Structure 1
Amino acid sequence: MPRKIGYARVSTLDQNLDMQVNALRQAGCDPVFTDSGTSGAEIDRPAFTLALDTVCEGDTLIIWRLDRMSRSLKHLMELNQVLTDKGAYFESLTEKIDTSTAMGEFVFHILGAVAQLEREIIRERTMAGLAAAADRGSYPGRPRKLNSDQIRNAAREKRRGESWSTLARRYEVNQETLRRSIADAGLV
């Protein structure tokens, strides 16, 4: 008897699986496997692996949304092939994809490609934003301990014979922070 096997995932531990699990249960899934605090980009998703291992011929693996299964088109296609090789199907509730039909298989490939394109565009925008911020002297993460003038002055003083410990005390930073800052600026 073909079964509907559900899979739900959230990326962080503070997110809640209830909405996904409820939707999967309403779709008739039993069992439902869940991963919490696991990125879709990660290969090691224990519950997902178990869900795939549970799928048999005629079964359908059902997810709430396409990105719950994978973060790349290549990986989606590989997973779809694993299911096809088992004689099983894939269904996404949100995107209304059901690979048991020819049209569902076609839509699956198109939406997978669109999802990957969207992620690549977001990545490109993020990288462009980080580069623009760096050009303005702003960097992600904690604020820099030393500004560029302090780094140049410290490098000049070091070349004049000052010790690392003296300079570190003067600029109120760790010696390693001072060394790294000067090296990163190309002043050593």
Structure 2
Amino acid sequence: MSRIGYARVSTVDQDLETQMAKLKAEGCNIIRSEKVSGANREGRVELATIIDFLRPGDELVVTRLDRLGRDTRDVLNLIHECEQRGAFVTVLDPHVSTRGEMGHIVLTVLGMVAQMERRFIKERQREGIEKAKGDGVYRGGKQRLDRDQILQLNADGKGPAEIARVVGCSRMQIYRILKGGEALAGA
């Protein structure tokens, strides 16, 4: 029986250390982490690896439910997949587990709250952008990656994994940029 921790933040400039420390303190002998949106499962390679690895009696541990996902249906599907493998899901804050029937009810409600919170965040973001546009100060989102550098590395024959290491991002981000018009060299 393994306790497997999963830590996630949405953007590359956010820090995983607090989640990692809590998962270690909880006795997780394996911890996987990634910097990717929790809006859906797309690009969440580490989470997919954990789900594939789970065995009967294992436990997937997250610090908060929104680290697992921000869509109620997606979170419930993830929990269902874990249970199909005979594994449990435990959330540390608030402490709730699928080991008991009440845990399922609480996790369902928390999943709905996480989804609602995401909708509120998106709405506030949209309102802020509209106000900034109206004030003439909106210039769009900050570009975090040098697309020209990525395309040049790819043209030089570097593969997506190597490019991701060089520029310090996920392979999925590299694939998205390369898919945006350039052919994948070395892939």
Q: TM-score, normalised by structure 1?
A: 0.66
User: C-alpha separation between the residues in 1 aligned to 2:62 and 2:72?
Assistant: 16
User: C-alpha separation between the residues in 1 aligned to 2:25 and 2:135?
Assistant: 52
What is the aligned partner in structure 1 of residue 157 from structure 2? Answer: none
**Structure 1: unaligned runs, 5 residues or longer:** 143-188
Equivalent pairs, count: 139
How far the C-alpha of 1:119 sits from its partner, in A, is 1.5
Select the residue among 106, 116, 140 that pairs with 2:138.
Answer: 140
How far the C-alpha of 1:15 sits from its partner, in A, is 2.7
AA partner of residue 96 (structure 1): H
AA partner of residue 79 (structure 1): L
Q: Kindly indicate whether residue 52 of structure 2 is the aligned counterpart of residue 50 of structure 1.
A: no
User: C-alpha separation between the residues in 1 aligned to 2:119 and 2:8?
Assistant: 22
What is the aligned partner in structure 2 of residue 11 from structure 1? Answer: 10
For the structure 1 residues 93 and 132, does the alpha-carbon distance in structure 2 shift closer, same or farther, using more than 3 Å as the test? same
What is the aligned partner in structure 2 of residue 82 from structure 1? Answer: 81
| 1:75 aligned counterpart, secondary structure | helix
Q: How high is the sequence identity, in percent, across the aligned residues?
A: 35
Q: Kindly indicate whether residue 36 of structure 2 is the aligned counterpart of residue 38 of structure 1.
A: yes
User: C-alpha separation between the residues in 2 aligned to 1:137 and 1:28?
Assistant: 51
| 2:32 aligned counterpart, secondary structure | strand
Q: Kindly indicate whether residue 114 of structure 2 is the aligned counterpart of residue 115 of structure 1.
A: yes
Asked if 2 retains the 8 angstrom alpha-carbon contact of 1:8 and 1:68, the reply is: yes
User: C-alpha separation between the residues in 2 aligned to 1:17 and 1:43?
Assistant: 19
Root mean square deviation, CA, Å: 2.0
How far the C-alpha of 1:74 sits from its partner, in A, is 1.5
How far the C-alpha of 1:137 sits from its partner, in A, is 5.7
Post-superposition Cα deviations, 1:45-104, rounded to whole Å, max 9, x if no partner, equal 222111111111111100111111112111101101111211211111122121111111
Asked if 2 retains the 8 angstrom alpha-carbon contact of 1:40 and 1:71, the reply is: yes
Q: Kindly indicate whether residue 123 of structure 2 is the aligned counterpart of residue 98 of structure 1.
A: no
**Structure 2: unaligned runs, 5 residues or longer:** 141-187
